[in-house]
Amino acid sequence: MKITIAQLDYHIGNFEGNTAKMITAIKNAKEAGSDIICFSELSTCGYPPRDFLEFEDFLSLSDNCLQLLCSHAKDIAIVVGAPSHNKDPKGKNLFNSAYFLADGEVKFVQHKTLLPTYDVFDEYRYFEPAKSWEIVTYKDKKIALTVCEDIWDVGTDDPLYTIIPLDKMQKYSPDFIINISASPFNYGHAKTRIDTVRANVNRYGIPMFYINHCGAQTELLFDGGSIVMSANGVLYDELPYFEECIRHFQLSEVIKGEKNNEQPKVKIALIHDALIMGVKDYFRKLGFTKAILGLSGGIDSAVTAVLAARALGNENVRVLLMPSQFSTGHSVDDAMALVHKLGLKHDIIPIKDMYDSFITKLSPVFSDAPFNVTEENIQARIRGILNMALSNKFGNILLNTTNKSEMAVGYGTLYGDLCGGLSVIGDVYKTEVYELARYINKDEEIIPLNSIIKAPSAELRPDQKDSDSLPEYEILDPILYQYVEKRQGPQDIIDMGYDPTLVRRILRLVNINEFKRHQTSPVLRVSPKAFGMGRRMPIVGKYLN
C-alpha cells in the first residue's frame, strides 16, 4: 500500500481555493500510484474557523467541498478533516471529524474525542466529543483514524483527559494509525510532537502517519513537520517546516523502519522562518502586498524591516524615518545604512516642528508642569499618526515593531509606537531579538553592527536609555519568561535567586499593562505562551497590583 501525505497551507473559509489545492494533490497522488492520500484537520474550511462554525451557510459550503472530493475518490481513498453535524439532539451541534472517502462516497467518519480548551484552543465551544471508536478497513488494511489532540495524552505524566481514543480502537487490531492535525508552531513544539508520536507508536506497536497544517492563520503559525513513524519508533520521515509538501510512502518500507530523516531544530532559525511565513501569509490571505514601518536605527525596527523584506520582497517594504530633537545622529545613519543595504523605499520626516507645535498649544493647559512621560508619548503618537497617514494614503499595512519584553511591561505608547496591523516580534523577547539580528547577519552584515551593540533607547528625552526605566534585558527577560511562559508566581521566582523587590515590581508592571495589550495588533505566536488569544488575563484585577 502506498500512502501520500499532503501537507498544505489552507485559507479559512476559502472553500474553492482549499478544494482546488486538494484536488491538485489528489491528481499528484494518483500519478504516483498511491492508494490513500491524507489531508489535515478541518482542511475543507481551514483551522481555526472559530465562530464561522455558527453559520449554516459556512457548514453547507464545507459539505459541498466534501461532495466534490468524493467525486475524486475513485481509484484512491481520501482522508480529510471537516466539521460534521451531530444528529443527536443532546450536546453540541457539530463534531470535528476525520472523513474516509472511497469509491466516490463517504465510507467512514471518525469524530475527534479530545477537544482542547487551553491556550489558543477553544474547541469545546463548538464541538461534541466522540462517543464511539471504530476503525476503517481498506484494501485489507485496518486503519485507526484519529484527529490531532486524540494522540496527545499518551506519554505524558500529567494527562488532561480520562479517555485515550486509540486504547478503545486496539480491540480491532489496526495495522497503522493516521492522525490528521492542526498543531500550531512554537519553537519547542517540533521535538515535543516527535516525542508524542513516538510514545503512541511504542504503546501500540504500529506505524503512524501524522499530517499537519502549514501556513499562518493570523497569529497562529503552523510549521508542517508532518511525521511518518515506523513501528519500531524510528522517525522514518519528517516533512519540511514552513512549506507545502506532498510526499509518498510505501507502507512496507515504513514498516521496516530503516530510514531516519529528521529536520534540524535550531530555535532562532525556526523563529526566523516562522515570522517570515507569518508576515507573508498575513498579507497574502488578506490581499495586501505592501508594508510600512517606522525605522529608528534601533535593533527592533531593523529586525522587523529585514523580516518584512524577506517575506514580501524589498520592493514592497517602505520605511519612515522620523527623527526628533532627541534622536542621535548615528540613529539616522544606522537606519539609512539598512535602507541602502536592503534597497528599501524610504522617507524622512523630522518631527521636531510638529512636537513644538503641540507643546505650544498645550502649554497654557500644562502651565508649569515639568517634562515627563506626557511629552514622550506626544512624540510617539506623532510618529504613529505619520505612519498611519502613509499607510492610509498608499495602502501600505503598518507593521508594529514592539518586542515581547516591552509589550510585557507596558514600555510602549498606545496609539503611538504600539500602532500597527500586525505585531511581527511581539512574541520575541529583547534578548531573542539580538539573537535574531546575529542570525540575520550570519553570512554578511545586513543589520548595521551599531544597531546591535549600542544601548537600546526610545530616544524620547535627552540621553535616554531603556535601562533608566527597566532592568537590563538579561535580567528582565528570564523573570518575564518564568511568569508568562512558565506561570510561576512571585515567590517561586524569588526562590530562583532573583531580588524580591525587583520581581514584584516586574510582575506588577506586567499586570497593570494588560489594558494596553488588549488594544494592540495580533502578535505572531512563536513561543509556548504568547500575548493574545492564548493568554487570557483580566484587565481589572488586584493580583500583584
Strand blocks (E) in 8-93: 36-38, 77-85
Report the distance separating Cα 490 and Cα 496, nearest Å: 10
pLDDT at 23 (0 to 100): 98
Sign of the dihedral through C-alpha 467, 469, 471, 473: negative
Residue 351 in grid coordinates: 518631527
| Alpha-carbon dihedral 359, 360, 365, 368, rounded to 10 degrees | 80
Residue 16 in grid coordinates: 474553492
pLDDT at 257 (0 to 100): 87
Residues identified as active-site: 41, 112, 148
pLDDT at 457 (0 to 100): 77
For 115-182, where are the alpha helices, taking DSSP H only? Answer: 165-169
pLDDT at 279 (0 to 100): 98
Closest CA to 517 of 538, 507, 531, 530: 531
Report the distance separating Cα 314 and Cα 497, nearest Å: 46
* HSE (side-chain half, CA atoms, 13 Å) at 249: 32
pLDDT at 207 (0 to 100): 98
pLDDT at 338 (0 to 100): 97
Closest CA to 143 of 80, 227, 207, 92: 207
The single residue listed with the C-alpha cell 542621535 is: 328
For 257-372, where are the alpha helices, taking DSSP H only? Answer: 267-286, 299-312, 329-342, 352-366
State the burial class of residue 447 (Cβ atoms within 10 Å of its Cβ: 0-12, 13-18, 19+).
Answer: buried
Report the distance separating Cα 225 and Cα 204, nearest Å: 22
pLDDT at 509 (0 to 100): 96
pLDDT at 468 (0 to 100): 75
pLDDT at 260 (0 to 100): 81
pLDDT at 545 (0 to 100): 73
Hey, is 4 helix, strand or coil?
A: strand
Superfamily of domain 271-466 in CATH is: HUPs (3.40.50.620)
Q: Are 468 and 457 in contact (CB under 8 A)?
A: no
pLDDT tens, the chain, 545 aa long? 999 999 999 999 999 999 999 999 999 999 999 999 999 999 999 999 999 999 999 999 999 999 999 999 999 999 999 999 999 999 999 999 999 999 999 999 999 999 999 999 999 999 999 999 999 999 999 999 999 999 999 988 899 999 999 999 999 999 999 999 999 999 999 999 999 999 999 999 999 999 999 999 999 999 999 999 999 999 999 999 999 999 999 999 999 988 788 999 999 999 999 999 999 999 999 999 999 999 999 999 999 999 999 999 999 999 999 998 887 667 899 999 999 999 999 999 999 999 999 999 999 999 989 999 999 999 999 999 999 999 999 999 999 999 999 999 999 999 999 999 999 999 999 999 999 999 999 999 999 999 999 888 767 777 777 777 789 999 999 999 999 999 999 999 999 999 999 999 999 999 999 999 999 999 999 999 999 999 999 999 888 87
| Alpha-carbon dihedral 495, 498, 502, 506, rounded to 10 degrees | -80
Give me the CATH code for the 2-265 domain, please: 3.60.110.10
The single residue listed with the C-alpha cell 529536520 is: 263
| Phi then psi dihedrals of residue 56, to 5 deg | -60, -35
State the burial class of residue 540 (Cβ atoms within 10 Å of its Cβ: 0-12, 13-18, 19+).
Answer: exposed
The single residue listed with the C-alpha cell 492520500 is: 37
pLDDT at 464 (0 to 100): 73
pLDDT at 97 (0 to 100): 98
List the end-to-end C-alpha distance of the chain, in Å, as a whole number.
61
Fold match flag (2-265 vs 271-466): no
Looking only at the bridges linking them, the beta strands covering 220-223 and 214-217 are antiparallel
pLDDT at 463 (0 to 100): 74
| Residue ranges covered by each domain of the chain | 2-265, 271-466
